[in-house]
Structure 1
Amino acid sequence: MRTTAKITAAALIGGTVVMGASAAQAAGPPSDEAAAQKVASAASTQQRLGRFFVHLDRHQRGQLINQPVTAAAIAAKAPRLEGDVHRVYSLNPEFVKGTPNAPAARFAYMAVGAKSATGQHATVWLTKSGASWTIMNMMSGSDEAVYPAKADGGIVFTEPQIHAWYRLKDGRVTALNETAKTSVAKGVTVGSYQQLVHGRYADKLPGSAYQRSGKIGGFSPSTGVSKQAPDRGAAPVLLALGASGMVIAGGVVIARRRRFAGSH
């Protein structure tokens, strides 16, 4: 398995992608969405999306994906954005740790869905670099674009270690996908949810014995830790921000979506 980076459980929880007991931390003024949307709509992004979809075709056919892509092949994909840019939030390590008043999740990146003329779906991830928004990654599938649009007056966030998506509203955490239902059933209070994630990850935060030992393994909604997955390499490759499918970084398919790939 080729990857540009691997994430341990500790790094996954202790990194920059992770939201709030009552409210998520602000990521910036509302104009950020408009600025990110403009970047996602740019001709250069459309070209990159077209190349992404061609690579995706090749990967699915078992072909090499590092071959040149013609302008005609890119044009044939005719990629278009689907919907608006949305903020993606993710589980907060301070909340897991039990820090008083820590929000349950915090802003991770912007995301917007895209579709090719041949029916493929992808998500464009954007992060802020200085005063500008840039493309962080492109990934097959549409979870990061679809779920954040279901806020319904609350906040949507992901527990990426198990690929669960939740809505935080009126002091309750409710499930938006099947994995989240396994985790919180019909919904739990924020306090109860904190107890759940504390039990799953508190001993795997940065500086823990788990991190220092370099232990490997996966997580499950019910127990927090499962047996080592046979194809996860030298660390629990628990994608910080995704689900099924695959990642393409810099125009090259790196790995399946449940494996982490560095962005370009």
Structure 2
Amino acid sequence: MRFTAKVAAGAAIGGTVLMGGTAAMASGPSSDEAAAAKAAAAPAAQQKLGRFFVHLDQHNRGQLTNQGVSKAAAQAKAPKLQGHVQRVYSLNPAFVKGGQDAPVATFAYMAVGATSASGQRATMWLTGSGASWTVMNIISGTAEAVYPAKAQGGTVFTEPQIHAWYRLKDGRVTALNDTAASSVGKSGVTVAAYRRLVHTRYADKLPGTAYQRSGKLGGYSPATGVSDPAPDRGPAPALLALGAGGAVTAAGVVLVRRRRQGSY
């Protein structure tokens, strides 16, 4: 079961894992990675990481995670960034709608992995442009930093509503984790077939639909496009917030315990 708990003062990031095309920025020059990496390594960002790891300990002990964290406790976690900053692409609402010329996925945010002195793993998400990048979220696990590095000449993207990761290459969408394999099979599908699949899943859940107006925020267990159905892993976010540009503007830090899958 997936759940989110606010661990910092201020508003939590509404629907962070639901982001899609219009919540994402246009892909920028490679200098953006360097600027994002600099922002992630800044003392303020490292302090946020340290506080996150302390809150993660509290959560694992069943304690409340809204209590303050001293500077010394955060520094004791000695957070370190791991690997390079990666671009994260997410399923595009325009593609879901059926647009023939719409890209399958659009750039959503930068991500970089991190570890603590006690071996915890997390991923920092950054948003911005040019020389101005800021930490918008920190989550447990490293999927968002690990999977994008597997592009191998293609584009890696996520279908966050079912926690699936895919590679788009040579006109085919292939799976990078178990959930994606349950979605498109071990050999993958054509772009056209994937468009039909996600249109069936989400077209009635985009902004402006009755689903959105009903206020539903989750409970989606997808029908898959392959013969063996995906196991029911519990409620997952629906496509409700795809296209909701305000989803990435808050500055809170959110702790996310995710269902384990693939090779995090």
TM-score grouping bracket, smaller chain normalisation: 0.7 to 0.9
Question: Does the aligned pair in 1 maintain the 2:221–2:235 contact within 8 Å?
Answer: no
In the aligned structure 1, how far is the partner of 2:42 from the partner of 2:5? 30
Aligned length: 237
CA gap of 1:146–1:252, structure 2 versus 1, over 3 A, is closer
Alignment match, 1:34:
34
Alignment match, 1:60:
60
Identity across matched positions, percent: 67
CA gap of 1:34–1:218, structure 2 versus 1, over 3 A, is same
Alignment match, 2:148:
148
Q: Unpaired runs of 5+ in structure 1?
A: 19-24, 241-248, 259-264
Q: For each residue in 1:87-127, what CA deviation from the matched residue of structure 2 results, as whole angstroms up to 9, or x when unmatched?
A: 00000010011113100010000000000010000000000
Question: Does the aligned pair in 2 maintain the 1:160–1:238 contact within 8 Å?
Answer: no
RMSD (CA atoms): 3.2
For residues 4-19 of structure 1, the aligned pairs below 5 Å read 4=12, 7=15, 12=18, 16-17=22-23
Question: Does the aligned pair in 1 maintain the 2:136–2:252 contact within 8 Å?
Answer: no
In the aligned structure 2, how far is the partner of 1:108 from the partner of 1:43? 24
In the aligned structure 1, how far is the partner of 2:81 from the partner of 2:252? 19
Q: Please report how far the alpha carbon of residue 53 of structure 1 lies from its aligned counterpart in structure 2 after TM superposition.
A: 0.4
CA gap of 1:251–1:183, structure 2 versus 1, over 3 A, is closer
Question: Does the aligned pair in 1 maintain the 2:19–2:90 contact within 8 Å?
Answer: no
Alignment match, 2:117:
117
- Relative to the length of structure 2, the TM-score reads 0.78
Q: Please report how far the alpha carbon of residue 138 of structure 1 lies from its aligned counterpart in structure 2 after TM superposition.
A: 0.6
In the aligned structure 1, how far is the partner of 2:179 from the partner of 2:123? 20
Q: Please report how far the alpha carbon of residue 13 of structure 1 lies from its aligned counterpart in structure 2 after TM superposition.
A: 6.9
Helix, strand or coil at the partner of 2:202: helix
Q: For each residue in 1:43-68, what CA deviation from the matched residue of structure 2 results, as whole angstroms up to 9, or x when unmatched?
A: 22111111110111011101222333
Alignment match, 2:139:
139
Alignment match, 1:73:
73
For residues 75-224 of structure 1, the aligned pairs below 5 Å read 75-128=75-128, 131-185=131-185, 186-215=187-216, 217-223=218-224
CA gap of 1:216–1:137, structure 2 versus 1, over 3 A, is closer
Which AA in structure 2 matches 1:152? Answer: Q
Helix, strand or coil at the partner of 2:195: helix
Which AA in structure 1 matches 2:115? Answer: K
Question: Does the aligned pair in 1 maintain the 2:122–2:138 contact within 8 Å?
Answer: yes
Alignment match, 2:9:
none
In the aligned structure 1, how far is the partner of 2:13 from the partner of 2:72? 32
CA gap of 1:252–1:14, structure 2 versus 1, over 3 A, is closer
Q: Please report how far the alpha carbon of residue 220 of structure 1 lies from its aligned counterpart in structure 2 after TM superposition.
A: 2.8
